[in-house]
Structure 1
Amino acid sequence: MIFKQALRRELSFTTGAVFLVLVTIMITTLVIRVLGMAANGNVNPEDVLVLITLATLSYLAVLLTVSLFVAVLIVLVRWYKDSEMIVWFASGLSITNLIKPILRFAAPLLIIIALLALFVWPWANRESTLISQRFQQRDDVSMIAAGQFKESARAQRVFFIEELDLKKSEVKNVFVADNKNGRLSVAVAATGYIQNSEGGEKSIVLNNGMRYEGTPTQPDFRILEFDEYSTKIRSKEALAPAPRDREKTVLELITDQDPNSMNANRAELMWRIGLPLMALGLVLIAIPLAYVNPRLGSYTAMFYAVLIYLIYSNLLNLTQNFVASGKMNVFIGVWPIHLLALLIATALIRNRINPSLKWWQRQLPASMAKS
């Protein structure tokens, strides 16, 4: 009982510590990436914190899976190094007696991983896409601000308005530069107004101004005077893009009968279900993998742990790609990897039960192994 309480306590502290370290690394990476996107004009600088939060939420299931695996390994490696496992074995208990308390500790985390993968992952991805798309499809009227040069979403137009009266829809001292098909058009006017059209379109109408049009470095510029010059600043409202498979809810993945997206939907659903199963397989593998000789170093177990996680995760992603491309049936791809992980965990545990026997004898029942 004392050992089980100590095991739960150490697993809790270690899982929390590893999780915090991984989250810190993840946030640092996201800050660099999202700030780079904001600097390039791909996302709104005001949405940086929201995008970082959503990206972190979307990867919490993966981070929690790694944290649980590493925590079980670290705790048991330390027990072997400090000879606490010798006390455990001397009490008449074997390595199989560790499975139940570790799984009891891991069960709530496995449920959380499943909920994160099934529900939080698609929601966070969808919100991130909507924020990015909203900024990319922003209209030019949202960019207009008095006394500031503002560039349009596609970097084809630059506005400058010295004074802006939104109540009267009037503008003063307007500068508009357009660049289309390599030709530059610059319009200036002292006054103008914002015009609303049917269908949600908006335009700025300039009064009594000048327009300069031509190709840079070429002597074909034209200077035109106009009484009224209209430039569109907002088209009709753009529709939200259809959600990708990683952004669809579980119900949408199941009910979508579009043959063009059916395989991708099944592959995405298989990946989400496979994530908690992978966490369970890694926990079972970590129990026998943590064995170390107290006289030797403990880095070998960590090396194998990293290798096993990379292989497991890549196999899961590879299977997902095969299912999405139609090269593998989802009912065939959903179980072999996790079954293989269970068989590896069983073989490793049996190897640790009686290390005095040859490796092939350890896989036999006890009665046959003795004979």
Structure 2
Amino acid sequence: MILRRYLTNQVAITTALVVGFLVVMLLGGRLIRYFGMAAEGGLDVSVLFSLIGYNLPYFLELILPLSFFIGLMLVLGRLYTDHEMAVINSSGISRGRLARMLSMLVIVMMLIEAAITLFAKPWGMERATNIWTEQSMTQVFDIIQPKQFISSGDYHLYVNEIGARRESLHDVIVVQMPKDKASAPIAHQELQGDDAAALQNIPENYKSQYDSLIFARSATQVASSDGSIQLDLHQGRRYEVDPLTRRYSQIGFERYRITIATGALPDTEAMRIEGIATPSLIGMITGDISRENVNEAYAELGYRLSLPWMMLLAVMLATPLSYVRPRQGRWLKLVPALFIYIACVMVIISLKDTVSKGKISVAIYPVAIVLMFAFALYLNYHERLMARMRLSRHTSEKLS
């Protein structure tokens, strides 16, 4: 009981220290980048630490298993170098039993990793995406100046007055000119003769194109989750004008919504599938929620369900890999052991990309995990199997 408590406390404390160190190292680089964006005016300073907090589960998803493995290696390696493991083994406690003493800690770590992977990371990614969306909208909205035309996509916007804190626009004029208009419009002098004859020469794809002119008393910004910049125009009129025939139509409105800019947001395109909640992923797989590439949902869900098993694999690998002979030092096995464990994690990460492209079935995830566990079992029982084989060969040679 005392040994179990001591071992659990040592591994938990060491893991927490390693997690803190790695989080500071990785998030420090991200924080410096955000400070640079804020200094250039591309990011509001007030949302810096909110972004860091929402991105924390994204980093902990991989930092936590690696830190747990390093903590196990350091604690078990110290038992060997301080000759405490020899005393423990002489009292009848094997390496396997010592690893089983950590079963409660392993279960807790698996539950924490599952909570981060299945719930915390998608939630944080969604919140971070919303912040980037708001920042992107604010940046475009800030370039609007009173009594000046600005262009955004198909729209040309003119504002006579801007309200306090840029919450509203007053006396707004919006001109929309479709991009797919014919590149060489017919000259106006062609219409000076017979209008009917001139209309026969107008291409069909041009006849359906109209310039839109919108007058509105005021406009307000609308929040959007897809990265688009939207405005609600209030109390105005919309005119559709054919510049060739001089014909137009008009309609009045109390509220009219337009999208003046769209585009990908920074740091969100690569995280598109990662920010989707786990129930939504299951809905995509079952068909309740439509999605173009269902393989991406399969890949992300398999990836999330695989990572908690890396905690159990960490114990199974650390138990044999932490063994050091006298005078070797506990750091000798740490680097190669880290390479082995990181290689296992990289296999899971690489499978995500392969499955999302449809090159292989999602069933490869459990197969890969089983193969990793088989490799870990081989490392645990390799010496015992080799000893039995040598004993059997020695016995057979003696009998012969």
**Same fold flag (TM > 0.5):** yes
Say which SS state the counterpart of residue 279 (structure 1) adopts: helix
Displacement of 1:195 in angstroms is 3.9
The equivalent residue for 2:66 is 66
Aligned AA (2:386): K
Distance 1:166 1:80 in 2: 65
Distance 1:71 1:101 in 2: 15
Q: Which has the larger radius of gyration?
A: 2
Aligned AA (2:275): E
- TM-score, reference length from structure 1: 0.71
Say which SS state the counterpart of residue 100 (structure 2) adopts: helix
Distance verdict in 2 for CA 1:78–1:262, change over 3 Å: same
Aligned AA (1:325): K
Distance verdict in 2 for CA 1:3–1:170, change over 3 Å: closer
Distance verdict in 2 for CA 1:152–1:122, change over 3 Å: farther
Displacement of 1:140 in angstroms is 5.5
4-13 or 286-295, which deviates more = 4-13
Kindly provide the CA deviation profile for residues 197-246 of structure 1, in whole angstroms up to 9, marking residues without a partner as x: 5971389xxxxxxxxxxxxxxxxxxxxxxxxxxxxxx9548899999321
Alignment of 1:16-27 (within 5 A): 16-27=16-27
Alignment of 1:154-165 (within 5 A): none
The equivalent residue for 1:255 is 283
Instruction: Check the 8 A contact 2:80/2:330 in 1, yes or no.
Output: no
The equivalent residue for 2:381 is 350
Displacement of 1:125 in angstroms is 1.0
Displacement of 1:33 in angstroms is 2.3
Displacement of 1:28 in angstroms is 0.9
Identity rate, percent: 27
Kindly provide the CA deviation profile for residues 138-160 of structure 1, in whole angstroms up to 9, marking residues without a partner as x: 376556799xxxx9999xx9x9x
Listed as ranges, the gaps of 5+ residues in structure 1 are 172-193, 204-233
Distance verdict in 2 for CA 1:311–1:369, change over 3 Å: farther
Distance 1:368 1:237 in 2: 81
Q: Kindly report the root-mean-square deviation, in angstroms, between the aligned alpha carbons of the 2 structures.
A: 4.1
The equivalent residue for 2:94 is 94
Instruction: Check the 8 A contact 2:161/2:169 in 1, yes or no.
Output: no
Distance 1:200 1:170 in 2: 10
Displacement of 1:13 in angstroms is 1.6
The equivalent residue for 1:52 is 52
Kindly provide the CA deviation profile for residues 95-149 of structure 1, in whole angstroms up to 9, marking residues without a partner as x: 1111211222221111010011000111111111111122212376556799xxx
Distance 1:251 1:163 in 2: 43
Aligned AA (1:300): L
Instruction: Check the 8 A contact 1:68/1:106 in 2, yes or no.
Output: no
Distance 1:301 1:290 in 2: 6
State how many pairs are aligned: 309
Aligned AA (1:279): M
- 1:315 matched to 2:347: yes
- 1:122 matched to 2:122: yes
Instruction: Check the 8 A contact 1:281/1:342 in 2, yes or no.
Output: yes
Displacement of 1:65 in angstroms is 1.1
Aligned AA (1:134): E
The equivalent residue for 1:180 is none
- TM-score, reference length from structure 2: 0.66
Say which SS state the counterpart of residue 201 (structure 1) adopts: strand
Distance verdict in 2 for CA 1:369–1:267, change over 3 Å: farther
Distance verdict in 2 for CA 1:42–1:269, change over 3 Å: farther
The equivalent residue for 2:333 is 301
Displacement of 1:38 in angstroms is 3.2
Say which SS state the counterpart of residue 338 (structure 2) adopts: helix
Distance 1:339 1:200 in 2: 55
The equivalent residue for 1:339 is 370
Displacement of 1:4 in angstroms is 1.7
- 1:325 matched to 2:357: yes
Distance 1:338 1:369 in 2: 37
Aligned AA (2:369): H
98-107 or 267-276, which deviates more = 98-107
Distance 1:325 1:12 in 2: 38
Displacement of 1:17 in angstroms is 1.2
Kindly provide the CA deviation profile for residues 16-51 of structure 1, in whole angstroms up to 9, marking residues without a partner as x: 211111122122122122223334554333321111
- 1:196 matched to 2:218: yes
Distance 1:100 1:369 in 2: 33
Displacement of 1:170 in angstroms is 9.8
Instruction: Check the 8 A contact 1:263/1:326 in 2, yes or no.
Output: yes
Displacement of 1:83 in angstroms is 0.3
Listed as ranges, the gaps of 5+ residues in structure 2 are 171-215, 221-230, 236-256
Displacement of 1:252 in angstroms is 0.9
